[in-house]
Structure 1
Amino acid sequence: MLKLLANENIPRLLIAQLRERGHDVRWVLKEQRGLGDPTVLASAFAEDRVLLTADKDFGELIFRAGKYASNGVILLRVLNTKSQVKLTQIALPVLEAHEASWLGHFSVIDLHRVRVRPLP
């Protein structure tokens, strides 16, 4: 089971599908709308959740600004996909297939591959 904090930019359909499959997902859009990125990152850490986002700024925060995110971050780079259905069809199987890889890593999922890098 994944334990995720989904950022505001994650589509509702993907959140719903993850929850239907038994994953523990909190969604910033519904519960903490408008939080800044450092606060979202801190919330994920405090709640022992992996952050699921489409915001590339989290890479900057972690690798350049030195913000701590030991739980992990998953960056979805497939959000230019116009359809929430198509995005969910792409992202959901990848999220579940690589479940053990997310903790302690900064991971990027795009249309062609998954890149996983240990967090500092």
Structure 2
Amino acid sequence: MPALNNTTAPKTPEQPQPKRTSRFTAVRVWWATTWSEGGVLHQRWEDLRRAPKGGWHGMAHWIKAVLGLAGICLVILLLDGATDVLADAIHYLLTADDRRETDPLNAEGRASTSPGTGAPFSPPEE
């Protein structure tokens, strides 16, 4: 009967381990591959280089999409700024105070109790 506690594995010829490359070396190889002739980054660079000569109809579709997205973002930013300015102007107009230092009806020279230009919209005082 063979021994049950035998933990040694049978001897097999060792296979050569594949040579490990560092992560930095792998990135360098990838970078060189993408910039080589026919690589992804090289093709995109060529698209950008040819865009001014080709005009709108000869331009790559991804460039048109990027330009369109940038234009839409710019319009959104401008509209956001315009709404802030408009809201501040309306707030200023509605809360404007048309008080004078001396009210002709007020002989003591105290400040007027007029609620300003928003008076038609304010609830009546009791």
Bin for the TM-score computed over the shorter chain = under 0.3
TM-score (norm 2): 0.17
TM-score (norm 1): 0.18
Q: Specify which structure has the higher proportion of helix.
A: 2
Which structure is richer in relative contact order (CA contacts within 8 A, separation 6 or more)?
A: 1
